[in-house]
Amino acid sequence: MKANLESAELSLRLWRRLYETYTLLKRCEDQIFEEHGLTTEQYAVLVSLSYLGQPARITDIARWLERSTNSISMIVDRMVKAGLVRRARDKVDRRVVYVSKTSKAESLFRPATMESFASVQKILSPIPHKDGLTLLNLLGQVKYETLKCVNREVDIEEIKRDELKQAANIKKWVNQYGLSSTPKTKLQRGKKKKTTR
């Protein structure tokens, strides 16, 4: 690591590395979801329904996934055809569309979630806990700065409140799916565990 890395260079290298890391992690998840008969996009919609509670509005799903309402509508269309979600319109305001999981989706979701979480945990397990917290914090800073670029009027305090709610949901989820700190799945790589503090 060169300490004298110029600021413009560092920015570009960070952007490139964020792209690589995200794309690789996504590719790894794609493989898992495919084995469970889901695309990553479909899985993401099912996750959002778990976090937001069902039925959820398309606009809320889109917001949670940081995507456009239009693109989520198209994914939901295909999911209705695949028998993964049900769609219902609000009785008062017909423009509002609610989405909920079918029992087929429920049965695919649990094993896909267990395996995907185990893989994320396995990938991140060699990173010391302290470094993980640093990474979470630094990515947060980049996220807030990017939000200002996408939307100048953004209320960072509101975003932080949303994050607290989300963190609570993740905690609930970890308990619900019985995820422990030491995942015991076929994905685990033997005893090659690093000692972390």
Q: Site residues for a second copy, window 165-194 (CB under 8 A)? A: 166-167, 170-171, 173-174, 179-181, 183, 187, 189
Q: Where are the beta strands (DSSP E) in 11-66?
A: 56-57
Residue 52 touches a second copy, criterion: CB under 8 A: no
Region 108-167 residues binding a second copy, contact defined as CB under 8 A: 117, 119-127, 129, 131-143, 145-150, 166-167
Distance CA 109, CA 105 (A): 6
What is the chain's alpha carbon radius of gyration, rounded to the nearest angstrom?
19
Region 28-47 residues binding a second copy, contact defined as CB under 8 A: 28, 31
Q: Which listed range, 61-69, 74-82, 88-96, 100-108, lies at the site for a second copy (CB under 8 A)?
A: 61-69
Helix, strand, coil fractions of the chain, as percent rounded to 5: 65, 5, 30
- Could you tell me the smallest distance in angstroms from the CB atom of residue 114 to a second copy? 11
Give, rounded to a whole angstrom, the gap between the first and last alpha carbons of the chain: 24
Region 70-109 residues binding a second copy, contact defined as CB under 8 A: none
Helix axes 40-52, 103-124, angle to 10 degrees: 100
Residue 195 touches a second copy, criterion: CB under 8 A: no
